[in-house]
Amino acid sequence: MSTGDAMSTGDAMSTGDAVKAPVLSATSLVKRFGHVTAVDDVSFELMPGASLGIVGESGSGKTTTARILAGLEQPTSGTVTLDGRAVEGHSRRARLRQARRLQMIFQDPYGSFDPRQTIAQSIAEPMRLHAPGSRKEHRARVDELLDQVGLSSRAGQSLPRDLSGGQRQRAAIARALGVAPRVLVLDEAVAALDVSIQAQILTLLDDLRRDTGISYVFVSHDLAVVRYITDTAIVMRHGRIVERGETEQILRSPRHPYTRLLLDSIPSPGWDLDRVARDRRALDLL
């Protein structure tokens, strides 16, 4: 019916040559808010099972990019292709189709849970929308999901306010996984968590990717976290991509002065604050 349906060749490919075709690609994305250009000509591809980091400081356009990918924001220009089809339109049908393939996780999952529903009910909700099955089947799947993210069934019967931040983030991940999406977009998903809980979520995400072949777009200001959870990364500044490549390569030998500044700004034993000042001057000269 929609133009997208006519060219669903991507779906056919996903069984055979899946490895070759990106599951998600962004082409020349631009987003303007009034006279602010939040995202300025951003392009990248995400292969099935891969994990891409988007790093940069606050205001660099990471969240806006993530929201465009998730269909929560319309780009001023440029296209997003998901699973071989251009993401178009804001109709309910288009959004549902999108949500079945791509789910988003936010920094504070509290706001995305209905405060009056139990965690288990919230997890079942997208499933009811997207996955056919009886109530009983859904309930079994919820138990499976809770288990997969390391939550007890007691936690499943709790209200969101009775869970810790780490538990809520697990619940958000469980809910997203319920529709078996091909891509998770995570925006600062571990930024608000304590180190020990952050490590639990990071290792969980790592295991999930290995076990299910899901792909991540991992948005974070934290280079150490991005190093752990991604294979490739893009570095954004003022809405533009200033560097891209394999994450490890970027960290070991950054080419752009801004990436260098970011790296040298991270505290470490023997931290050289004069070097940070030099980096900044080099960047200002650009």
Partner 1 sequence: MLAKKTPAREEAPDGGAGTRRDALGISRLSLAVGTGESEIPLLADVTVRVGRGETVGLVGESGSGKSLTARSALGMLPRGARATGGVTVSGVDVLAAGYRELRDLRRTRVSMIFQDPRASINPVRRIGDYLTEGLRARGVPARGAAEQALDLLGQVGIRDPKGAMGRFPHEFSGGMLQRVVIAGALSTEPELLLADEPTTALDVTTQAEVIGLLKEMQRAHGTGMLFVTHDLDLAAAICDRVYVMYAGRIVEESAGASLFGAPAHPYTRALLEASPSVHGGRAEIKAIRGRPRALAEAPSGCAFRDRCPLAGDECAETVPAHRPHGTSLVACLRPEQVTP
Ligand X SMILES: Nc1ncnc2c1ncn2[C@@H]1O[C@H](COP(=O)(O)OP(=O)(O)O)[C@@H](O)[C@H]1O
H or E element that contains 104: strand 102-105
Check residue 259 for interaction with Mg ion (CB under 5 A).
no
Q: Which is nearer to ligand X, 62 or 168 (CB)?
A: 62
> How many whole angstroms separate alpha carbon 256 and alpha carbon 49?
28
> How many whole angstroms separate alpha carbon 167 and alpha carbon 194?
12
Give which of Mg ion, partner 1, ligand X, none residue 262 binds (C-beta under 5 to 8 Å, depending on kind).
partner 1
Residue 187 tokens, joined: 């925006």
From candidates 4, 53, 62, 215, binder to ligand X by CB under 6 A = 62
| Cα-based distances in Å from 29 to 14, 56, 81, 134, 278 | 24, 17, 11, 40, 33
Q: In Å, how far from its chain's centre is CA 282?
A: 32
Q: Which is nearer to Mg ion, 61 or 160 (CB)?
A: 61
CB 234 within 8 A of CB 241: yes
Q: Is 185 in a helix, a strand, or coil?
A: strand
Angle at 245 between CA 222 and CA 75, to 5 degrees: 75
Subset of residues 192 to 231 that bind partner 1, contact rule: CB under 8 A: 194-200, 202-203, 221, 223-225, 227-228
> How many whole angstroms separate alpha carbon 93 and alpha carbon 100?
11
Check residue 178 for interaction with ligand X (CB under 6 A).
no
Binding flags for partner 1, 159-198, as an x/- string (CB under 8 A): -----x-x---------------------------xxxxx
Among 52-60, 142-150, 157-165, 196-204, which window interacts with ligand X (CB under 6 A)?
Answer: 52-60
From candidates 64, 98, 169, 200, binder to ligand X by CB under 6 A = 64
From candidates 21, 24, 26, 38, binder to ligand X by CB under 6 A = 38
Check residue 247 for interaction with Mg ion (CB under 5 A).
no
Closest approach of Mg ion to the CB of residue 107, in Å: 8
Torsion sign (Cα): 187, 192, 195, 196: negative
Check residue 81 for interaction with Mg ion (CB under 5 A).
no
From candidates 51, 60, 81, 103, binder to ligand X by CB under 6 A = 60
Check residue 36 for interaction with ligand X (CB under 6 A).
yes
Check residue 269 for interaction with partner 1 (CB under 8 A).
yes
Q: Which is nearer to ligand X, 38 or 171 (CB)?
A: 38
From candidates 63, 81, 198, 232, binder to ligand X by CB under 6 A = 63
Residue 19 tokens, joined: 């490895």
CB 11 within 8 A of CB 84: yes
> How many whole angstroms separate alpha carbon 134 and alpha carbon 262?
51
Subset of residues 60 to 79 that bind Mg ion, contact rule: CB under 5 A: 63
Site size toward partner 1 (CB under 8 A) is 36
Task: Give the footprint of ligand X on this chain (CB under 6 A).
Answer: 33, 36, 38, 56, 58-64
Task: Give the footprint of partner 1 on this chain (CB under 8 A).
Answer: 57-58, 164, 166, 194-200, 202-203, 221, 223-225, 227-228, 248, 251, 261-271, 273, 276-277, 280
